[in-house]
Chain A
Amino acid sequence: MRPLPPEVEAELAGLPPQEADELRRIWSLAGLPAPNVDHLSGDLWARIEAELDEAKVDEAELDAPAPVIPIAQARSRSAVRSTTASRSPRRAWFSMAAALALVAGVAVTWWATGTTTFEAGVGEQLTVSLPDGSTVNLNAGSTLSHERGFGDTHRNLKLDGEAFFSVESEAVPFIVETFNAEVRVVGTEFNVRARAEDGMPATHVAVKEGIVEVSQTAGFVGRLEAGEAVGVTHDITSIPEVDAGAWRSGAFQFAGFPLSALTAEIERRYDVQINVDPAIASTPVTMRLEAPETADDVLRTLAEYYGYALDSGSGSYTLKPR
């Protein structure tokens, strides 16, 4: 089914859950069954081509030169995006990224084997510039690694956790591997969330710009366009994404995730302990907060909205049904 437009989804986020759900149901019911128009498109292209070829003869007589598109223009979109990237010299970035990572208080390990690992600890976020000019924002409690030759012979990354990618367009495919899925792109912006330990052991992919292909070990899963999202578990579910990678600007956003996945995220971001009553742990929750400063902000809103009881002690919280 076609996902709800993000602008509408944002509006629904401010409504009582029951009302929002009803409006979502309306959206799913309101689709006009697409009539089959194959019998109309049959010879249509031939007709168009015939008309174009007719026009072409006239053009040839005019001998108009074909327009030249400057390479700079063709690349401009991605060039504007890369803020921390320096494309040359390629080797220099390694120390740069390392310095960047260390400033952020994060361990970078370059093993003799040639594996480079970036790790954003609990309560931290990290920006990584890759040798190909792509940029990655790594969310709290996440690890990203690649083998030697990244950007030269391959662009393969391994991700455990959550990251937002701004990928430079290049012929070499950019591949993000998670514990159960593979995301393949050319040039785009997208978010990958692979939390095997959460209540929902899924790889969640949301696309902000461009198109990516998602596959799991079982084979090809699908192609995602901007504004679409997919969760890879054992089944494919298309989820409307409000704003891919919103966590980078401090927003806290979950649509239809189990409560336990959300509390695990709060633990990672704010370095706190949260106990969730098993009776409510798998309840799907949807929430978005623009920039909550403390775990308290998030948990109070959550408890109030869904009618849970919230107890807090020294650095630990308990959520249970009221």
Chain B
Amino acid sequence: MHETLPFAVWCRRIQASDRAAFTELYQALQADLIRYALRVTHDERAAQDVVQETFVKVWQKRETLDPNRSLRALLYTTTRNLSINVVQSYRNRYGEADAEGLDRLGQASGVEARIDADRLSRRMQAWIEELPERRREAFRLSRDSGLSHDEIAEVMQVSPRTVNTHIVLALRFLRERLHAFEGA
């Protein structure tokens, strides 16, 4: 799979320490990455810190970037790992039971509350939560973050074929749920 032109161009310019290109990259992806970090951490401050650290890390290793590999996948991978670290260290500090505190924090900050009130799409979100964790992750990265199969494969360390299977099975599962719901 080819990477879209601007990412490859940004990659080369960033390699050559071009700060303007790095600014453009940041502007193009920051909101998506913040949302992604929010979905994992459920904490606004944590998501902000994670995205900050992601971009700093990428800049620091700019000279070793590979223009043939997806820069976007690299940013998502870094954001994902840092977000998981945050959740993990929260769990270590406060114990498994209290890790839900992070969730409540997120809800209190209104992130979840801003979700569209439409009944069916709310149901849909609840059904998506029922999916196995990896399947849900692949589906969300595709549907909400707009990553290509190849990029998701890189982020999740699986084959693109597995990514496709996850997504198709997720759609089928949601269809079953919808049928049961509409039939009821």
Contacts and interface: CB of A to CB of B under 8 A. Distances in A.
Nearest to B67: A73
Interface stretch (B3-11, B79-87, B90-98): B3-11
A211 B5 contact: yes
Interface string A170-197: 0000000000000000111000000000
Contacts of B174: 26, 30
Interface string A59-76: 000000011110001100
Interface string B158-184: 001001100110011011001000000
B38 A37 contact: yes
Contacts of A208: 2
Interface in B104-135: 111, 114-116, 120-121, 124-125, 128
A52 B171 contact: no
A77 interface: yes
B19 to A, nearest CB: 8
A47 B124 CA distance: 37
Contacts of B30: 41, 44-45
B106 to A, nearest CB: 10
B16 A48 contact: no
Interface in B1-42: 2, 4-6, 8, 12, 15-17, 19, 23, 26, 30-31, 34-35, 38-39
Contacts, number: 126
**B-side interface mostly:** helix
Contact of B124 (A11, A29, A36): A29
B132 to A, nearest CB: 16
Chain B, interface size: which category?
Answer: 35 or more
Interface string A20-43: 001100110111111111101100
Interface of B: 2, 4-6, 8, 12, 15-17, 19, 23, 26, 30-31, 34-35, 38-39, 44, 47-48, 51-52, 55-56, 59-60, 63, 67, 111, 114-116, 120-121, 124-125, 128, 139-140, 142-144, 146, 148-149, 160, 163-164, 167-168, 171-172, 174-175, 178
23 contacts: A7-B160, A8-B142, A29-B124, A30-B143, A31-B121, A32-B140, A33-B116, A37-B31, A40-B34, A41-B30, A45-B23, A48-B55, A51-B52, A52-B19, A52-B59, A55-B59, A69-B15, A73-B12, A73-B67, A186-B5, A187-B5, A210-B4, A226-B2
